[in-house]
């Protein structure tokens, strides 16, 4: 393995992307040069996390141990990249989305790896996969279908160039289907038929829409699809590893004739890859049939490469999250002038309390996003609009955002006014609960001062923050001149006392 030595001066020239998939864990390390990157190392281990889910939907101790051992090895390679530097992104996919004890595992995983881990939803996974494939191939304006078979889910994306037109993630994967239909490795005609029908049933949800949109070329992006491409090429069933329905049928026939995956003549295929191949082949064959795929080429680009390009976009101020927030604000007719007023005051508040409250720089972006979206619920109803804003944020597809980021934004807009309930914040991971609570306090205060939607000059406010106390200083006689805001501030004192935060208000700034 190549040793990646880094010092503080060149930390920002190294990017790392880690994909904690349901079947394999991947890490890609790249060097950033002139706003492009050059891959310097790749690591992959077949952890088979999905295989460790028990009947209760919990990760077994053995599966967790396999995963943590792998993450410790990965962590040694990126230990010199500081946490929070923006140069490392680690994501978990289907199995970590569904495992009931994933929160407890993620705490241990973060310690082993040395970096926080984001859980991303299926559509965000699909977006990143397409981004990786789009950069791996020299994409022109041709419309393409990209398919990625993971351990627990399969992603389908239709796109042109670097933009996805349609994205979907379906709950079927090579590990889950191999466990469900080919337990013990036995392969029969009836088992394969049932597996293909089960996959076809799931594909019904998207098949008409995808066929109607159409595409010119199909591309496979996963290890399973690359494995199938190599098999059909070596067998002489396809040219240059291009997969066809006919070559898949020949592979299925060979597997059924062999009767057991261990005796199927598949060359030097590893035992781990063999064990999950039948389920993956069933998913692939059903997809060819239901989506009317004629042939499929294979790409080396995948989720981890998409993560690298997404990181590069954030570094070069081309952040998908910014586009998502702007699009959502337009869709729900957010008041742009009010957003600008609130953001201006939040920036001032953030500068004043960031040090005592230990708020890292990236939380400023989070405040900007929540200020932009806090009123989107008004498009539904003015009555308790914070609840409507919460619902829209919690249940919408937000490209670029992890599940944790999305739920944190939703919790903040839910807590923007009226009684400060901590219920939604306590649903977040414990390590971000206090920070989210403090950011919500800043939002609440900024909204108090901007409730009148005034076009007057911004009110000079000084904040002094401690762990359980915040002092608010205003110009002399300001409260007497603004009795409605004074009433709101006094009410805010009472609301914040309920969560153990002492707000004091003084004049004489």
- In this model, does residue 281 exceed pLDDT 70? yes
The whole-number pLDDT of residue 457 equals: 64
- In this model, does residue 3 exceed pLDDT 80? no
The whole-number pLDDT of residue 9 equals: 37
**238-257 pLDDT per residue, tens:** 878 799 999 999 999 999 99
Question: Residue 84 — very low, low, confident or very high, per pLDDT cuts 50/70/90?
Answer: low
- Mean pLDDT, range 374-395, rounded to an integer: 94
- Mean pLDDT, range 455-471, rounded to an integer: 85
How far is Cα 100 from Cα 57, in angstroms, rounded to an integer? Answer: 6
56 token code pair: 């209760």
**Cβ(486)–Cβ(474) below 8 Å:** no
The whole-number pLDDT of residue 318 equals: 83
- In this model, does residue 2 exceed pLDDT 50? no
- Mean pLDDT, range 102-124, rounded to an integer: 92
- In this model, does residue 185 exceed pLDDT 50? yes
- In this model, does residue 86 exceed pLDDT 90? no
- Mean pLDDT, range 48-75, rounded to an integer: 93
- In this model, does residue 4 exceed pLDDT 50? no
Question: Residue 7 — very low, low, confident or very high, per pLDDT cuts 50/70/90?
Answer: very low
**Cβ(492)–Cβ(416) below 8 Å:** no
Handedness of CA 338, 343, 344, 346 (dihedral sign): positive
Q: Minimal CA–CA distance to 63: which of 92, 107, 95, 98?
A: 95
- Name, in order, each residue with C-beta under 8 angstroms of 225's C-beta and a sequence gap of 6 or more: 147, 148, 149, 243, 280, 284, 296, 298
- Name, in order, each residue with C-beta under 8 angstroms of 339's C-beta and a sequence gap of 6 or more: 329, 371, 372
Percent of residues, the chain, with pLDDT higher than 90: 75
- In this model, does residue 393 exceed pLDDT 50? yes
**26: helix, strand or coil:** strand
Q: Which of 126-135, 197-206, 269-278 has the highest mean pLDDT?
A: 197-206
How far is Cα 93 from Cα 22, in angstroms, rounded to an integer? Answer: 7
- In this model, does residue 199 exceed pLDDT 50? yes
- In this model, does residue 303 exceed pLDDT 50? yes
311 token code pair: 């990181």
> How does strand 243-244 pair with strand 217-220?
unpaired
- In this model, does residue 38 exceed pLDDT 90? no
The whole-number pLDDT of residue 321 equals: 94
Tell which wins on pLDDT, 2 or 468. 468
The whole-number pLDDT of residue 179 equals: 94
> How does strand 143-149 pair with strand 88-92?
unpaired
- Mean pLDDT, range 261-270, rounded to an integer: 89
**Cβ(149)–Cβ(176) below 8 Å:** no
**Cβ(461)–Cβ(345) below 8 Å:** yes
- Name, in order, each residue with C-beta under 8 angstroms of 396's C-beta and a sequence gap of 6 or more: 328
- In this model, does residue 95 exceed pLDDT 80? yes
- Mean pLDDT, range 424-453, rounded to an integer: 92
For the whole model, what pTM was predicted?
0.85
- In this model, does residue 235 exceed pLDDT 70? yes
- Mean pLDDT, range 289-314, rounded to an integer: 91
Tell which wins on pLDDT, 282 or 11. 282
Going from the N-terminus, what domains does the chain have, and what CATH number goes with each? 11-120+306-312 (3.30.420.40), 138-298 (3.30.420.150), 319-456 (1.10.3210.10)
């Amino acid at each position: 393995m190549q040793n990646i030595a880094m010092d503080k001066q060149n930390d920002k020239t190294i990017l790392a992307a880690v994909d904690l998939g349901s079947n394999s864990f991947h890490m890609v390390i790249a060097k950033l040069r002139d706003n492009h990157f050059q891959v310097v190392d790749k690591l992959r281990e077949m952890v088979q996390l999905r295989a460790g889910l028990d009947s209760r939907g919990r990760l077994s101790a053995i599966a967790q141990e396999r995963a943590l051992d792998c993450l410790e090895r990965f962590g040694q390679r990126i230990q010199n990249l500081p946490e929070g530097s923006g140069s490392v992104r680690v994501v978990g996919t289907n199995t970590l989305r569904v495992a009931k004890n994933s929160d407890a595992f993620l705490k241990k995983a973060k310690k082993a790896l040395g970096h926080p881990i984001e859980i991303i939803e299926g559509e965000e996974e699909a977006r990143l996969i397409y981004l990786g494939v789009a950069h791996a191939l020299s994409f022109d304006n041709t419309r393409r279908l990209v398919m990625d078979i993971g351990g627990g889910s399969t992603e389908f994306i239709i796109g042109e160039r670097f933009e996805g037109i349609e994205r979907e993630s379906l709950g079927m994967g090579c590990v889950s289907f191999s466990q469900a239909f080919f337990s013990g490795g036995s392969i029969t005609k009836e088992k394969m038929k049932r597996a293909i029908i089960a996959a076809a049933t799931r594909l019904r949800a998207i098949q008409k829409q995808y066929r109607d949109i159409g595409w010119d070329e199909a591309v496979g992006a996963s290890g399973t699809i690359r494995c199938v491409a190599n098999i059909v090429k070596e067998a002489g069933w396809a040219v240059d590893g291009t997969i066809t329905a006919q070559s898949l049928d020949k592979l299925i026939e060979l597997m059924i004739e062999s009767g057991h995956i261990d005796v199927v003549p598949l060359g030097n295929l590893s035992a781990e890859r063999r064990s999950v191949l039948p389920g993956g082949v069933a998913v692939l064959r059903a997809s060819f049939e239901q989506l009317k795929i004629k042939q499929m080429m294979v790409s080396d680009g995948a989720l981890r490469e998409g993560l690298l390009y997404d990181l590069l976009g954030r570094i070069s101020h081309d952040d998908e999250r910014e586009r998502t927030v702007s699009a959502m604000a337009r869709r729900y007719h957010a008041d742009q002038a009010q957003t600008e007023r609130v953001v201006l005051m939040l920036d001032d508040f953030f500068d004043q309390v960031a040090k005592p409250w230990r708020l890292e720089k990236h939380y400023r972006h989070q405040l900007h996003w929540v200020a932009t979206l806090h009123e989107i619920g008004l498009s539904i109803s003015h009555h308790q609009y914070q609840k409507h804003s919460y619902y829209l944020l919690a249940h919408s597809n937000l490209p670029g955002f992890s599940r944790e980021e999305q739920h944190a934004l939703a919790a903040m807009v839910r807590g923007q006014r009226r009684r400060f309930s901590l219920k939604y914040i306590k649903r977040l991971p414990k390590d971000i609960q206090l920070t989210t609570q403090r950011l919500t306090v800043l939002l609440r205060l900024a909204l108090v001062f901007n409730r009148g939607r005034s076009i007057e000059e911004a009110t000079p406010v000084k904040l002094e923050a401690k762990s359980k106390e915040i002092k608010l200083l205003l110009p002399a006689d300001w409260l007497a001149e603004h009795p409605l805001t004074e009433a709101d501030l006094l009410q805010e004192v009472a609301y914040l006392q309920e969560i153990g935060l002492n707000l004091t208000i003084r004049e004489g700034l």
